[in-house]
Structure 1
Amino acid sequence: MAAVLFVALCILALVPFFPISVEAAVSKQQFQDINTSYAKEAITHLVSEGIAAGTSETRFEPKKAVTRAEFATFAVRLLGLKPVKNNISPYSDTRTTAWYYGNVSAMTNLSILEGKGQGTFQPNASITREEAAALLVRMLKQTSGSTGLLSTTYVDASDISVWAKPYVQKVYQLGLMRGSDGLFRPQDQVTREEAAVMLDAILQKKEWSQQLGNADSLGIQLGWQYNSTTAEFKKQVEQSEVNTLVPRWFFLNSSMQITDHTDATLLTWASSTNREVWPLLGNRSDAAMTHQMLSSSANRTSVVTQVTAYVKKYQLDGINVDFENVLPEDRAGMTAFVTSLAASLHTIGAVVSVDVSPDLGTDWTEAFDYAKLGAVSDYMVLMGYEEHWNGDPIAGSVASLPWVENALDTMLTNVVRAKVILALPLYTRDWSSASPATGSWDITLAEQGTRAHAAGSVRQWNASLEQYIIGYSSNGLARYIWAEESRSLTAKVRMSTDRKIAGLAYWYMGGETADVWNAISNASRFESYLF
């Protein structure tokens, strides 16, 4: 065991900026080479906060240049974010096994860091001062546009790249980078001591540092169970951010009875882990049976009574109404049913959430009066997917950012923000280029990754859709995937968080890869900052 420990320690010593605890940093920050550095106090502070580390126990090497990967690591730690080991790598030159991979991916997901062209990141290249300026401005979510002060501020203003000039002026105004002797030195490498001073300046601003210390607040995180046992569902939830469980327990049948598939062991576990349970009440997309219930006052009352009895019996926190393929003529009946159900459940302290598709003005959603349903229910869950559906003759994204954004904004014209939950897809679709309607199928994000990593596959980031488009060949035919993964989901979470809605939902638990949860957490946390 001693030999194994010795080998492990030797390996760790070779890894630059290996994460260390704050306590360990404080006790081991006796660097022998920082006493004459102008950045001594900043270095000591950042090390004590666990943001920076030495290159060894006794050396910090303040004059050494900082690499792009190292700066990304500093930034992740300072912002209180989590490394994200994206299942699909943003760059061709960042190996998933590299020590910096999760930090570079986390910064890329949030659009703080960018590559160097041709799909590369160049992690071991030194970061320049103008690149650092851009990074700092994006980290702090500052707007940059004006460049009018540069020519009178720096004698080498003409040496600053055109793209970098707004960032350089902004960091000067923020007091984060000033240069010396009238020079900014835009192409110079940033040293470790310079990086320490820049980052410590952020922590010295109380209004910024206070926010960085705040705990995460994700709101409602709702996860649907699908094709999994109770044991599998529990494991999926444990590995996620989900705090509200929706098992598929209650379904309407043709006898106007609610079938009960409750698993008491899940209720006990949810209670012990401080999670709520809102079982799904479904209609199995049976339009005729649903019409039979919604069109009859007596049938509606009977179903409400049954559901209320189950909520009481199992001490449930709420019910998630998932009626799909409802006839347009049942619009009034649907509203009446939800109104009655909500009134009944509210008397026993339970909530009602209603799943709805985006309002595209078609017969598919005509039965849902969004304004009235939003007024009587506790939450409206917008199913932000199926932009292109199974059987669609046109191949395309399941949930591109512009489409989801438009769907959410349309919903918010009828329903207050505090009642809206946006559901995101943890699946996508593998499309046939020859026959999209008949030769395509749903796949999980893990299956998507397998295809993306296969020999011969290609992918390209589509900035307008905020998605990768993956192409590969199967049996000599071209196939395409509009990918859902950490980077695309980050964009949608940031968009929705900016609108201050009640939370997020995920269809379905088990379809994801493990990395998406850190990405979602980071997106919510970063969007909460008001620098």
Structure 2
Amino acid sequence: MFAIILAMTTIFIFGMLRELRLGEEYTKKTMLGRLAITTFIVGFLASGAFQAATANKVLPFDDISTSYAQNEIINLYNKKMMTGTSKTSFSPTRSITRAEFITVLDRMLGLNPVGSPVTSFTDVALDDWYYGWIQAAVQLELANGITATSFAPKRAVTRQEAAVWVARALKQNGESSIGLCTAFKDGKEIADWASASVAAVHQAGLMKGDNKGKFRPSEPITRQETAVLLDRVLQNKSWASELKALPEKRIVIGWQYGQTREQYQSNILKSNVNTLSPRWYFVGETGDLSDSTDTKLITWAKQNDKQIWAMVGNRSDQSATHLMLSDSIVRNKVVEQLSEIVKRYDLEGLNIDFENVAPKDRALLTTFITSLAEELHTLGAVLSIDVSPDLGTDWTEAFDYAALGKQADYVVMMGYDEHYGGSLYPGSNASLPYDEHAIDTLLKVVPSEKVILAFPFYNRDWTLNENGTVSSSEFITLTEQNRKIKTYALKPVWNEAMGQYVAIYMKQSLKHTIWFEDARSLITKYRLAVDKKLAGVAYWYIGGESEDVWASLSNAETYYDYSFSK
């Protein structure tokens, strides 16, 4: 502070002398006035009020003035990524807990806490301040528990754990730098599960050894060390740019079913859906088209920058669909009506949802889609068609995937009903392997940029016989599913291979099983869509979801678009 006072006083006095040399006229009164101003400035700079104000402005905490990480702490605090242990204390030398570290890491990645009630951790309560942050990280596979049922949120994070979490968050797998751990004198003490990550963050200049050349893998990392580590991430211009970039825009379809316009609009506004698909049109055997167009929804969609690809269904009526497709006059009549509807209501596109089409109508269905695509393309409208996974059964024999992929703009893979109401044995509605197989099979004949993967916002609660077969099943929404967790105190267990939680419970002496569709399982499917470079995703149906899934899917949308190149 003395240096500042001396410097400013010297500048002021030299300024007066300079003016005298330049010939300025000074009266005794002018000189006294200038000296009085100088005295006031010196006095103010030396005052306790000024020093206190300066200190408060620079240091948000009382205990970081001597910390080597002072600048990094202030930077993370100003970016609202890292807070103190109290309003006035940062506790720089204290170990950081697993819950605290994950929270800071989430904030750095631009993620939001999520409130999904589905968790296998018994030591993370829904009302804990860190619950949502841990859920966000676990759902994106950024962190795991120390066991299947324990996260240990209050346990100190070791330096090698911190390395693993940061490397995973930045998608630095370390495969090309595994041998670098030998750079540390205690490299052999680094756990096998952490060695690649330690090497990766060391190579990236994020974590260094101490002045004795040791990494100290099992020692707790302090809060000030954490601040330095994460600030180094932000100093990487490429990574910092990634963190500020907007997610890539994909098609996100939300089907309307069983909701009024007001209910549907309300749910859409909470979501990331950009393409609405209301069930407005159904085709009969004579080619007559039922029209339930809601013009108010069309106006609302345009006002809210949403497209409408209205759904066209066949009510799963195989006989009526055959009669319509097999008569060229009737078939062309339907094409003309649909084309006219798109033009009349200025729709952006149509979504064809023909189910239970007879195998013998395979070529006729392709002909219909070809004709409709030609008409819609002259109007600048989009044509999409819904298909089920090719499992070699009559249910999907009518779909010539390759031909449909050439004619339609998008092929929507309905990735659900792996086990349906008529199944003999219980099982998942949409396991990850089921969707992977469906997409991989489709991508052999349809380019990824034309494929959309649909997820379920519904599930089944299976009641079992003593021999394990299905006694009955209850169709449930995700909200109803979550309600069962609370009612029956369910303890879901995450199944990595299936990409889902599974829970078993007893009700009136009968065994029940649920393969959960929740935010975490939906995120695994979303990641599949990103990894396969698909055009987008779709949700059947809006209103079936629990509200928490939108925050989770938003996190996935944000995080999976990061590339974090080295």
Which SS does the other structure have where 1:240 is aligned? coil
Give the distance between the partners of 1:126 and 1:28, measured in 2 at CA: 29
User: How far 1:29 sits from its partner (Å)?
Assistant: 5.0
Aligned to 1:480: 513
1:14-40 superposed Cα distances (whole Å, 9 cap, x missing partner):
xxxxxxxxxxxx978533322322212
Give the distance between the partners of 2:83 and 2:63, measured in 1 at CA: 13
1:200-224 superposed Cα distances (whole Å, 9 cap, x missing partner):
1111111111111011234111011
| Bigger mean CA offset, 453-462 vs 496-505 | 453-462
Aligned to 2:411: 380
TM-score under structure 2 length normalisation: 0.86
Which SS does the other structure have where 1:506 is aligned? strand
Q: Structure 1 residue 135 and structure 2 residue 165: aligned?
A: yes
One-letter code of the match for 1:241?
A: N
Q: 1:449 aligns with which of 482, 502, 519?
A: 482
User: How far 1:311 sits from its partner (Å)?
Assistant: 1.1
Aligned to 1:303: 334
Inter-CA distance 338–210: structure 2 relative to 1 (3 Å threshold): same
Aligned to 1:179: 209
Inter-CA distance 179–445: structure 2 relative to 1 (3 Å threshold): same
Q: Where in structure 2 are the equivalents of 1:407-446 lying within 5 Å?
A: 407-434=438-465, 436-437=469-470, 439-446=472-479
Aligned to 1:515: 548
Which SS does the other structure have where 2:506 is aligned? strand
User: How far 1:405 sits from its partner (Å)?
Assistant: 0.8
Q: Structure 1 residue 367 and structure 2 residue 405: aligned?
A: no
Give the structure with higher Rg (CA).
2
Aligned to 1:335: 366
Aligned to 2:47: none
Give the distance between the partners of 1:333 and 1:29, measured in 2 at CA: 74
1:429-480 superposed Cα distances (whole Å, 9 cap, x missing partner):
1112217555112211111112223345332111110111111112201010
Give the distance between the partners of 1:90 and 1:354, measured in 2 at CA: 38
Give the distance between the partners of 2:118 and 2:309, measured in 1 at CA: 33
Aligned to 1:80: 110
One-letter code of the match for 2:143?
A: L
Which SS does the other structure have where 1:439 is aligned? strand
Among the aligned pairs, what percent are the same residue? 46
Instruction: Note if contact 1:54-1:60 (Cα within 8 Å) is conserved in structure 2.
Output: yes
User: How far 1:78 sits from its partner (Å)?
Assistant: 0.7
Aligned to 1:261: 292
Give the distance between the partners of 1:28 and 1:346, measured in 2 at CA: 61
1:369-391 superposed Cα distances (whole Å, 9 cap, x missing partner):
11111111111110011111111
Give the distance between the partners of 1:200 and 1:448, measured in 2 at CA: 41
Q: Structure 1 residue 159 and structure 2 residue 189: aligned?
A: yes
User: How far 1:46 sits from its partner (Å)?
Assistant: 1.4
Inter-CA distance 137–431: structure 2 relative to 1 (3 Å threshold): same
User: How far 1:255 sits from its partner (Å)?
Assistant: 3.1
Give the distance between the partners of 1:155 and 1:125, measured in 2 at CA: 27
One-letter code of the match for 1:296?
A: D
Q: Where in structure 2 are the equivalents of 1:194-213 lying within 5 Å?
A: 194-213=225-244
User: How far 1:137 sits from its partner (Å)?
Assistant: 1.0
| Bigger mean CA offset, 243-252 vs 515-524 | 515-524
Q: Structure 1 residue 246 and structure 2 residue 288: aligned?
A: no
Aligned to 1:14: none
Give the distance between the partners of 1:337 and 1:39, measured in 2 at CA: 68
- Structure 2 regions of 5+ residues with no counterpart? 1-55
Instruction: Note if contact 1:90-1:108 (Cα within 8 Å) is conserved in structure 2.
Output: no
Give the distance between the partners of 1:245 and 1:491, measured in 2 at CA: 23
User: How far 1:164 sits from its partner (Å)?
Assistant: 2.1
Aligned to 2:349: 318
User: How far 1:147 sits from its partner (Å)?
Assistant: 4.3
Q: Where in structure 2 are the equivalents of 1:37-48 lying within 5 Å?
A: 37-48=67-78
Q: Structure 1 residue 504 and structure 2 residue 534: aligned?
A: no
Inter-CA distance 447–27: structure 2 relative to 1 (3 Å threshold): farther
Aligned to 2:264: 233
Q: Structure 1 residue 401 and structure 2 residue 432: aligned?
A: yes
Which SS does the other structure have where 1:458 is aligned? coil
| Bigger mean CA offset, 383-392 vs 426-435 | 426-435
User: How far 1:239 sits from its partner (Å)?
Assistant: 1.2
Q: Structure 1 residue 219 and structure 2 residue 250: aligned?
A: yes
Which SS does the other structure have where 2:460 is aligned? strand
Give the distance between the partners of 2:412 and 2:529, measured in 1 at CA: 13
Aligned to 2:526: 493
TM-score under structure 1 length normalisation: 0.92
Which SS does the other structure have where 1:397 is aligned? coil
Q: Where in structure 2 are the equivalents of 1:282-301 lying within 5 Å?
A: 282-301=313-332
Which SS does the other structure have where 2:370 is aligned? helix
Instruction: Note if contact 1:380-1:421 (Cα within 8 Å) is conserved in structure 2.
Output: yes
Q: Structure 1 residue 65 and structure 2 residue 95: aligned?
A: yes
Give the distance between the partners of 2:355 and 2:58, measured in 1 at CA: 61
Give the distance between the partners of 1:60 and 1:298, measured in 2 at CA: 77
User: How far 1:339 sits from its partner (Å)?
Assistant: 0.9
Instruction: Note if contact 1:355-1:383 (Cα within 8 Å) is conserved in structure 2.
Output: yes
Give the distance between the partners of 1:402 and 1:524, measured in 2 at CA: 21
Give the distance between the partners of 2:524 and 2:451, measured in 1 at CA: 18
Which SS does the other structure have where 1:443 is aligned? strand
Aligned to 1:8: none
Give the distance between the partners of 2:238 and 2:384, measured in 1 at CA: 37
Aligned to 2:63: 33
Inter-CA distance 461–211: structure 2 relative to 1 (3 Å threshold): same
* Alignment coverage as a number of residue pairs: 505
One-letter code of the match for 2:319?
A: A
Which SS does the other structure have where 2:455 is aligned? strand
Aligned to 1:13: none
User: How far 1:254 sits from its partner (Å)?
Assistant: 3.5
Give the distance between the partners of 1:441 and 1:284, measured in 2 at CA: 22
| Bigger mean CA offset, 398-407 vs 41-50 | 41-50
